[in-house]
Amino acid sequence: MSSPFLYSQKIKTQAQALGFSSCGISKATFLEEEAPKLEQWLKEGRHGTMGYMANHFDKRLDPRKLVPGAKSVVSLLFNYYTDQKQKDTLAPKISTYAFGEDYHHVIKRKLKDLMAFIHKEIGAVGGRIFVDSAPVMDKVWAAKSGLGWVGKNTNLISKKAGSFFFIAELILDLELEEDAPVTDHCGSCTACIDACPTDALIAPYQIDGSRCISYLTIEFKESIPTKFKGKMDGWAFGCDVCQAVCPWNRFATPNTETAFTPSDEFLSMKAEEWTELTEEIFEQLFSNTALNRAKWTGLKRNIKFLNSK
């Protein structure tokens, strides 16, 4: 057996031991097919005010510009699905991925452990870890690595696990055994497109980020445009609609990561408690969660917009 194969098996076994649900590998090359798509998406302004999406265009398309001498991209999935719900159905909705500790912290710790394992078991391997915070096209790499396909809702979808998972990467200067991509299984289904409250899914496999509720409630820092009044479906932070309606998520199973367990205090919050939320209580409850991305001021803005007539 060749070293690339053995190394790949070692890394995949350890990734599973660390709690990652899937691990796939692809060759670190220039993303030729994605270049014109990304260029057109940016040209049409689909990124809204997310100026960073237009930055580092070359690095976004070529991992070798992020890690000199890179040979492999190791893509990893981490399940965050939960069957726990907010108890008050009238309360502002919070996206499932923000229920527990901020995933950046949780997954970064695991990736550091995986890198330490690689250094111990394989040797002086150069590389970097990434969790949704650098110019890496994570869904594209995960699809190239055989972990699923990019669906009509523009999320990565797995036949065995749905789409409620985080995507992370190791970009390494180590040659590894590549995995083959899987085929698309969206078929004629348009559930996600039909259900999107703000019509952000402008066509199959195409999203206008500037219309997405996740963008409007997290990334967008100005006043939410009045044209979205009555269309936010109660979401105050993120949105799960296009995933919740996806038939493949019937295979999603609850995560077992204790750091993602939501507190009873959060799940029990009533609508009026959200409206009256003070900065002090926000810090107590959410300073270590992804909700801190919007900050207290952003969350209050979103709730006020939901309650406005």
Residue 183 has a CB neighbour count (10 Å cut-off) of 6
State both tokens at 44.
């049409």
Q: How far apart are CA 132 and CA 64, in angstroms?
A: 18
Q: Residue 76, CB half-sphere, CA atoms under 13 Å: how many? A: 27
State both tokens at 147.
């972990």
**Are 115 and 296 spatial neighbours (Cβ–Cβ below 8 Å)?**
no
Which of 58, 132, 199, 264 is the catalytic position? 132
**Are 94 and 238 spatial neighbours (Cβ–Cβ below 8 Å)?**
yes
Cβ-proximal residues to 194 (8 Å cutoff; 6+ apart), any chain: 245
Q: Specify the 3-state DSSP secondary structure of 284.
A: helix
How far, in whole angstroms, is CA 54 from its chain's centroid? Answer: 19
- By C-alpha distance, which of 237, 246, 245, 243 is closest to 266? 237
DSSP state letters, 99-143 = SSB-HHHHHHHHHHHHHHHHHHHT-S--EEEESSSSS--HHHHHH
Say whether 132 is catalytic: yes
Q: Write down the residue that tokens 């150069």 correspond to.
A: 126
Please give the positions annotated as active site.
132
